[in-house]
Structure 1
Amino acid sequence: MSFTLEFFATPEIPEVLKECLRVLKKDGRLCVVAMNQKDDPTLMIKLYEWAHRKFPTFVDCRPIFVRKTLEESCFPVLDSVEIFAWGLPIEVVLSKICKENSKRS
């Protein structure tokens, strides 16, 4: 999923990930690419968030806590890498289905 989760309202993201759990095979993997929110946002993130609030039609993505969101939705992280585009942190996270959900039929 590349730059997709951040289009959903924060309370809806776990529901989207629940649907991913439903459709993935028991040994399935999920890769998410998204702008990464920080506990202490950089100046670029603050400027981007301002632009997102001011011009939501043109600046449509928003930073989210990628790793935390996946882990809280039963997708343990296998690997991740952070890259930067125009000074904005982008996180690429590879995760798998948690063990308690991998035994489903």
Structure 2
Amino acid sequence: MVLPYSKLKTFYDHFGKKQDKQGFYEDPALEQLVSFSEFKEAHSVFEFGCGTGRFAQRLLECELPADATYYGIDLSTVMVSLARKKLAHYSGRARIEQSEGEIQFPLEDHSVERVVSTYVLDLLSNQDIQKFLAEAHRVLKKDGKLCLASLTHGRSLFSKLVSTSWSVVSFIYPSLVGGCRPLLLTEHFDHSLWKILQHTVVSPYGIPSEIIVAVPKYS
């Protein structure tokens, strides 16, 4: 069951800094995402759902060129405040804004080199995932990359048990897991519009995450 945006905002406003404690299972996936995404060649990055700004800080400190710009949005007022504080040192290059929950990127067509979203699409309805992919296709430059990480279904016996249990909880009591649910992201891609360059699954502590890097196709 997908939580409405009003409940997601309330949850993550209360969750706040505790989101960074999820690094024990998110960080291995983010390491893979960084290794696939060629951020060192990217001069403009847009992040959908920037959270506390922890991943953005890592990109700006360690991965992006010195002249690269970063633009992040988030639904949560608290997350926006935390991200702005975390990225204050990069105020000339980094911008954080609050969204109203609409899946519409405040960007011109073909204007950014990377669109990033980590552990956000697993909060969205299938319809909104399609809207997200359409917007990413619209705003990416022709050589740009879509860089995603999400909860997914397990592959080993233990990770299958974990992801199945998570799916049950998210269906019965989605607020308990912040609205997150395991997805198969590849099933949402229109392969006439996208070419998937990298796709892998990692399962630290039995919690499976799917990593995808894709590029837009044009007719």
TM-score (norm 1): 0.79
* Corresponding residue for residue 46 of structure 1: 164
Structure 1 moving runs of 4+ over 6 Å: none
TM-score (norm 2): 0.41
Find the structure with the greater CA-based Rg. Answer: 2
Q: RMSD over aligned Cα, in angstroms? A: 2.2
* Corresponding residue for residue 31 of structure 1: 147
Distance 1:73 1:5, change over 3 A: farther
Corresponding position: 1:85 with 2:201:
no
Percent identity over the alignment? Answer: 24
| Stretches of structure 2 lacking an aligned partner (at least 5 in a row) | 1-116
Between the aligned partners of 1:44 and 1:37, the Cα distance in structure 2 is: 9
* Corresponding residue for residue 193 of structure 2: 74
Between the aligned partners of 1:58 and 1:13, the Cα distance in structure 2 is: 22
- How far off its partner does 1:42 sit? 1.9
* Bigger proportion of residues as helix: 2
- How far off its partner does 1:86 sit? 2.8
Q: Residue 14 of structure 1 contacts residue 73 of structure 1 at CA under 8 Å; is this kept in 2? A: no
Q: 1:12 aligns with which of 112, 128, 138?
A: 128
**Matched positions, count:** 99
| Stretches of structure 1 lacking an aligned partner (at least 5 in a row) | 101-105
